[in-house]
């Protein structure tokens, strides 16, 4: 109070309440400014192993470098599962593979085109350098993602166009495992081409040339 002016007892009581509220308002304002400037906060992301490792990871690294105080929680799961988490508000956004069977009320921003392909090692060398049909392809042991994934559904639908049903030798949960199974010669593996480019370049794997374009 200015010199010569003091609060009455009632004013003292009122000031204590006002001071407490004022401090809370100032604290809330500072937290709000921090959140706007990304000095704190939480981001909840959903992603499959494929989209996380081969697309999202470098963005997460750069974001964490710029905003180290923002906590990032990544929920790893297949694309259909990620979409359901988004609809329930459990995650803020998801990085998924298209197409999605049920994407009502979801805003979709396409960020990258991908190409599915089949690869094998030299144990299946008789297939190198020539075109084969999908009917011939499925006579070989196939390694592919599980049924609860967008990629698997897409391939099943693709083969169904030619009245071909897939009976895989191995159904796996991650793209990394599928690639490793191909390198071990355990079957012809279905993967996104971007993920196996280095293996094709170094000769560990070769791409199966299909007559029917995926």
Most trustworthy range by pLDDT among 23-32, 52-61, 93-102, 190-199: 190-199
pTM of the model: 0.72
Report the pLDDT value the prediction gives residue 188, as an integer from 0 to 100.
Answer: 97
**Res 24 pLDDT > 80:** no
Q: In what helix (H) or strand (E) does residue 133 lie, and over which residues does it extend?
A: none
HSE, side-chain direction, 13 A CA sphere, residue 142:
22
**Res 8 pLDDT > 90:** no
- Contact (CB, 8 A) for 94 and 85: yes
In Å, the largest CA–CA distance within the chain is 101
Distance separating alpha carbons of residues 191 and 183, to the nearest angstrom = 13
Q: In what helix (H) or strand (E) does residue 158 lie, and over which residues does it extend?
A: helix 150-160
Tens-place pLDDT, residues 101-131? 766 678 888 888 989 999 999 999 999 999 9
Tens-place pLDDT, residues 38-56? 566 788 999 988 888 888 9
């Amino acid at each position: 109070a200015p010199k010569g002016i003091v609060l009455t007892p009632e004013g003292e009581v009122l000031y204590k309440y006002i001071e407490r509220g004022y401090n809370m308002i100032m604290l809330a304002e500072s937290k709000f400014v921090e959140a706007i400037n990304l000095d704190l906060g939480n981001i909840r992301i959903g992603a499959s192993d494929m989209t996380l490792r081969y697309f999202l990871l470098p963005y997460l690294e750069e974001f964490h470098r710029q905003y180290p105080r923002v906590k990032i929680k990544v929920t790893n799961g297949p694309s259909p599962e990620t979409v359901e988490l988004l609809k329930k508000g459990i995650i803020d956004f998801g990085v998924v593979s298209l197409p999605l069977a049920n994407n009502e009320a979801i805003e979709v921003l396409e960020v990258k085109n991908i190409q599915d392909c089949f690869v094998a090692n030299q144990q299946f060398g008789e297939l190198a350098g020539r075109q084969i049909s999908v009917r011939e392809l499925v006579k070989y042991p196939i390694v592919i993602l599980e049924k609860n994934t967008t990629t698997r559904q897409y391939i099943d639908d693709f083969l169904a166009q030619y009245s071909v049903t897939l009976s895989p030798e191995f159904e796996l949960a991650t793209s990394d495992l599928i690639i490793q199974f191909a390198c071990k010669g355990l079957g012809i593996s279905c993967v996104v081409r971007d993920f196996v480019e280095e293996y094709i370049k170094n000769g560990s794997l070769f791409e199966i040339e299909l007559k029917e374009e995926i």
